[in-house]
Structure 1
Amino acid sequence: MSEQRITYTIKNGIADVRMVRTDKMNALDNAMIDALIDTAAELENHPEVRVVVLSGEGRAFCAGLDTSNFKRTAEGNGGSATVKHGGGLADRTHGIANRAQQIVWGWRNLHAPVIAAVHGIAFGGGFQLTLGADIRFMHPETKLSIMEAKWGLIPDMGGTPVMRAIASEDILRELSYTARIFSGEQAKEYGFATHVSESPYDDAMVLAREIAERSPSSVKRSKKMFNALFDATDAEALLTESVLQDEIIGKPNQVEAVKAGMEKRVGNFSDTSD
């Protein structure tokens, strides 16, 4: 990669992940797409990561797909920054997802919860990237848009399964048909923002520290349980609860959680104990 697109540090169980293509408002070019996919994959191999804070440096969280890609389309040169393997978008290259969708699903399926700190702009693929997070802090003046209709496209970068679970169908249809820009305040009203904050990064880090103090075995299973709820029947959801609870109940981290709670102290948990 000729230019760095993402940096991250891991400290006290928190992975602080930042998009750093500040001159382009962290727009999604090939290198940024690769960096988002690769970083999520790298963090999956770090059991000491208990929670992730994902943010963008500079003026924006992520401005969406790099407009140079659309310029090539307008000039008749075709090409897509979201396809790299020579096939079509329907080809599954990352499990159930294609390459573009993996920028959302890589974070969605990460073992640790992901908190997005969103400010400035989150358009198109940048908006969908926020949906890869478990929790979203947004500045009230953030400008967001399901912008694909502006370019004659539909939202296709992995966010639609999450959208359907957190926003009403009529809102999704309106925003997708019009590409209307809406604010962080409206995002909270629609269901896209968990919290509206004047300091989204700072508040995301406060919550991250709180999560990092909990048993990683418990938090990991909770995320896995909620991810499985999307298409689950009631019977499947109830069974999932039981199976995941069996994996941790009575194990060292669960016992330590009980002791820490009773002794009113921070737990001393193992990141490698399931």
Structure 2
Amino acid sequence: MLTATSGALLAAFFVVPHALAHDGVDSGNVAASFRRGLIAYWDSGSPDFPRQLDTTVDFWFRFHLVKAAVSALLLAAVVVLGIFLRRLARQRADERPGRRVLVPAGALVALLGPFALVALVANVQGAMAPFASLLPLLTGGDARADGELAGTLAQMRQQISDHPAEGHSPALTAMIGDFALYHAVMAVMAATVGLALAGVAAALWRRHRAVPDPRSRRAMKAGVAASAVCASLALVIAVANTTSAAHSSQALAAFLDGGW
């Protein structure tokens, strides 16, 4: 039942958000809608989103919110499945055929667990800062052929190179602020995940010394190593995003120049 639930949630992650639509905006036309809305926003000189951009950002918020909710449910199901499999493995410690039956489900946990965690973090970030998370759509393949968009991006690069001098578009202020929020959310979540994984590594290290079975001890050591590596990676991401949030105008300038 847990395996079937995990599979159903995985399918929902890819299907359900794409079924959403808001005032004519959906996952198929969100890129084009955002580009048109951003051009209008830049040209308006107003700090408020024009209707098309507001509709697009609202759709993108809903899209990521649904994905984050499904990711959280998937992560919970995978964790419960992992705990259940661990208990079964202990009960069948002396039954080789019985342990082999658990291998496919164990592989599912090993694959879906990290996927669900990364998806949860990324989609919470997207829901918290939907405007900034739409910005990569400006550099898609067909965007390069849009002369009007190219002109707007050129003006953005010019103005951000002069930032914080006066006279820049209110749209640039909004972009810099949301870009800072985008990276700050990732910094907080990556730090939280990194510290949690470091705690898991420490707990496994303490427990493995009390386990008499050599096979179980090797498995725990592998878990310690994997948790420590992932914790280190998460903390590096947290530091990098903290730097980007603190210097959001420079980070946005780098993005507009082709970086991220």
TM-score by length of 1: 0.27
TM-score by length of 2: 0.28
In terms of fraction of residues, the more helix-rich structure is: 2
Higher relative contact order (CA 8 A, sep 6+): 2
